[in-house]
Chain A
């Protein structure tokens, strides 16, 4: 197995393999977290407050929205409810992952590693299982910890460096900005099969329509639910 191979293995994958599998997530998270750190300090937060938000909330879109809500003076409970509602989709990630992992998969330490089940970590873990890799909690810890650390470190760097750090490198900025889209496409390719085409098509269509006619958050929720319901209907 090569250093960054992400293929199937016969033994339970370990912590180090989880860390290595997180590489594309780390490269995608760093610039986004950096942007959040910059935006947070430009909104009047201190670097410590910016890092605290990334440590405690750890959800990208919610954090950017939190800046807008805080600076607009939204009441605390309204802001909290809005931000919480944005992440409702995460409820499905754990059960979907454990279904793919099988009945014998350990979830003894799920209270800790499941904190790291962001969209990208979930997608990477599910893709690995679909490619034949066995489920293991050390792998989940490695995958989740690398992603979490990159998110927090990226925020700190952005908050301290301020805007303009990558302004002289627009192509690098652009390439890094495409990293997460490329990751999701690669994950989609890794799990795609003829039987799943209706699920994928329904999810994409509902996401596009939901985004156009409602909002980005609604589009994501509608896409997931429409795709999952299509999976229920097919035999």
Chain B
């Protein structure tokens, strides 16, 4: 195994652990309710999820649109799968299934 590759992995892995764990461990004081930090952190989660959804479908829309019908079917099925029980698991599986079926139907 390449020593340089192991060293690279250890440096990046250590930084990833620090990014994920240290703020959780060190920032123990509850931000003042209604304060700037509190509002920032409360909005970070929804902003991250919205961003990651946009980032995950953007490659299919830009620079050249591709597989738009499976994408539309997948999005619609995810929404419809979510509505009855508000289940994230069911919605995700419905969306992926519909995407795959639409892809297969288009040949």
Contacts and interface: CB of A to CB of B under 8 A. Distances in A.
Contact of B96 (A66, A117, A179): A179
User: Chain B binding site: helix, strand, loop or mixed by DSSP?
Assistant: helix
Nearest to B97: A175
A129 B60 CA distance: 31
A56 B54 contact: no
A161 interface: no
A117 B17 CA distance: 9
A176 B23 CA distance: 33
Contacts of A203: 46-48, 50-51, 54
B64 interface: no
A79 interface: yes
A97 B57 CA distance: 25
A204 B51 contact: yes
A106 B25 CA distance: 10
Given A95-B24, A99-B31, A231-B39, A189 B87 contact: no
Contacts, number: 317
B24 to A, nearest CB: 3
A165 interface: no
B13 to A, nearest CB: 4
Contact of A183 (B92, B97, B99): B92
Contact of A178 (B38, B42, B58, B99): B99
B68 interface: no
A186 B88 contact: yes
Contacts of B4: 76
B92 to A, nearest CB: 4
Interface in A2-59: 4-7, 20-21, 23-24, 27-28, 45-46, 48-49, 52-53, 56-59
A119 B48 contact: yes
Contact of A6 (B8, B21, B28, B87): B87
Given A80-B12, A185-B75, A231-B42, A111 B25 contact: yes
B52 A184 contact: yes
Given A27-B96, A90-B20, A119-B52, A52 B9 contact: yes
Top 9 A-B pairs ranked by shortest CB distance? A231-B43, A227-B47, A175-B100, A94-B24, A182-B95, A223-B51, A171-B104, A184-B53, A114-B21
Interface of B: 1-2, 4-13, 15-17, 19-25, 27-28, 30-31, 36, 38-58, 62, 67, 70-71, 74-75, 78-79, 81-82, 85-97, 99-101, 103-104
